[in-house]
Structure 1
C-alpha cells in the first residue's frame, strides 16, 4: 500500500444526523489532546523520548475530517481519496442512514475499494448481530463497533488508536514492499530455509532452479563430487540448533547432465540467521560466479602464455644464431667437396644435415609465431566464411586419406566480430589434428564440423571418430610444447587457444560417448574491445 498521505490522519464520517456530525467535528477537528497522543505515537515522538529532544512542534494537528449524510456519498468520497492517493485511515459509518442504503452496505462496498481502511460501525440500535456484520465486512481485525450514545473520550481514543494502527500497518507494508523490491530485484539468489526445507526464494533463484532437486532439500543439491563435503557442511551449519555462519564456493551440475565440464556452475554461498514467520531460520545467498571464474582462468592462461612467449623468444634467439653459423659452414663444406670426385656419400650426409637445420629453423619460426602477441583485427563476419575456407584447403588431403567429412553449419548464423584469417587458422589446425588422429584407425574415419548459437555465444564443434582423449590430457594438450605426437612441436593447440582467448572466447577438449575427440569453441556474439 504505497500512498501519498496528508500530514493529518484522514477520517471519514457518514451519519444522517447533523447534530452527530457536529459532535464529530467538535471533538476531532481541533482537539489538541488527540493530536498530542498521535504525535507521541509517531517516530518523531519516539525520537524525542529516546534521544532527548526537547523542542516539539506545538502546532495543533487535528484530524482531517470529511463528513457526509448518505452511504452512496461516503462511497464516492472513498473512491475520490484513492484516486488522489490520499486515503482515509478510519471510516465511522452509522448503521441506519435513511432513505438510502445502510452503513453495513457502505462498509462492504468501501472494502472493495480500499481494503486497508479501519472501519467503525456506529449504531444506537441494530437488528444485525456484530458477528453477522463481521462476516459481511471482513477482515474482523479491521472492524470495530461503537455504541450510541458514546463519550467524547471514546471517540478520541477510537480515532487516535485506529489512525496509529493504520499508519503503522501502512509503514510496515511500505517497508515490506521496499524489502521485496530489493530482494526480488537482486541478482543474488536468496533462499530462506527452515529445518532443511526451502520456505522462500526470490526470482534470481530461477538461475539455480535446474540445480534443485524435486525434494527442494538443500542437502540434495547436485554438487560437484569434489565439493560434496562443502555442501554437507553447509547444510549442517544451517540446520543444527547452534547456528554457524558459513561461506564457501561450490560447483553445481544441472540434474540429468553428465558432461560436467561444459555445464558446471560456480556458486558463491553465504549463510546467516534471520527470523522468518516468527521462527529462527537460515538465509542462504547464492551468487553465480561462473563467468568470473572463466575470466580468471582466461587471465591466468593469458599470463602464462605471455611468460612462455618471452621464454620462447629468448630460446629461439639463442638457438638461431649458432644455427645460422652451422648452415653457413655446411654450405661452404658442400661447395668445397663439389670440386672433388666421388663425393656422393659426403654430399648426401651434408644434405641430411642441411635438412635437419631447416627443420630446426621451422620449429624456431613456429615458436616465434607463438610468442608474437598481436590484437586480432575484429570485423563483423559470417563465421561460415573462415570455416568453409579451412574446409576447402583440407578436402583434397582428407579425401586421399579416406576420411569422410561432414559440415553441419547454421545457414543463418549470427554474424560475430572475428579475425577471419585467425579463425581459419584455428579450424585448419583442428582439422589437421583430427586427420592425424585417424591415421591408425581402420574403419569409420569421420570428421564433423558443426556450428550452434544461443543468445550470447556462437559455438564451433570439431569432432572426429578416433580413439578419444583421456581426462588427464584434456587440459595438458593446450600447454605450450606438450604433444602426444612423436614429431609434434606442441605449439599448434597453444596457438589456437591463444587466438580464441584473444577473441574473448574459450576452447575445450573432450571425448565423445561413441568414441573420438571433440573440440568445442565458444565466441561471444556481442561486440567487445580487443583483449590486448
Structure 2
C-alpha cells in the first residue's frame, strides 16, 4: 500500500509538526506507518513529485501551504504537481482567506482530488485526513487496475475464440484433425472465460456481509486426493513433482465447495511460480484445528510484496510478468479462511520457495455457536 506523503511549508515549526505527528511511534502503533517527505519551498516540492512519479514510486498525498514566500505559492505548486501526477491527492493548507473556492479551483485547474485544511490543525485532524486520503488513493488505484485487468483477461480468450471460429467458417473443408484441434482450443478458452467469471462472482459473494456458510461434514481423506487428481494436469510435462500427504483427521465441518476452492487456488498459485522441484499439499491436526499446508520450491515472495499478497486485485512482480490472472486468487483464499474462523500465514524465501499455512477449526459449528452466545 502506498503511504507516501509530501508536506511542503516554509515555516520550520509547521514542518516539525508534520514530522512529530505523522512519524510518532505511539501513533504508528494504531495507524498505518506513513512515509513522510518534507519540503520548504514550492519548487522543491514540484521537483520531488516529478522524481517520484518518474521512478514509479509516486506520492499518494501532498500537504501544500498556500502562502510560501519567496518563490511560487501553494496554488502554483499544486497546479504544477497536478500537471506531473494527475492522481496525487492534494490538501491546501492555509490560515487565511486569501482566495475563494472558485478562485482556487481556477488557479489549480480542477477540484478533483483537492481538499482544504485550516491552519493550525490538530494532530487528530492531520492523522484522520492522512489515513482517509491515502486509503482513497490506494482504493482508486486498485479499482483502475481491476478494470484494466478484467478487460484484458476477458478480451484475450474472446479474441482467441473469435479468431479460431472465423478460421473454421472460412475453411469448411478443413482437415478433420486440424478442425478438432481448433475446437479443443476454443473449448479451452471458454473454460478459461468461465473460470474468470466464476472468480469475480465468488469474490463478490464472499465480500457480502450476509454470506452464510453451508456447513456439512467433509471427508478429508477423499477431498485431498480428489483435489490432487483434479490439479495433476497443471504439472504434466513439467519438471515438477506434485504430491499430497494425508493426516489422521478423517472428517471436518465446513462448506466443502469453498474449502475445495481454497486449496485449488493455493495449488494453482504454487504452480504458476514454480519452474522445478515440487508442490506439496498436506494436512495435520493441532489441538481442535486442522492445518492445511501448500508448499513449493518456487521463486518465493519478495519482502516488499509480502504485505500486499492477500490484497484484492494486486499482483507481485512475478505475477505481472506472467501476465495472466486477476490478482484475486489469494484474496479469495483469505476470505474463505476468514469465513471459516481460521488463520492464514506464510513462510517464504526468495528463489527457494513458499509455504502457505491455514489453520481452522475441525468443527466450525462450535466456533459459530460460541461467537453467537
Scaled by the length of structure 1, the TM-score of the pair is 0.32
Q: Which has the higher contact order (CA 8 A, sep 6+)?
A: 2
Larger Rg: 1
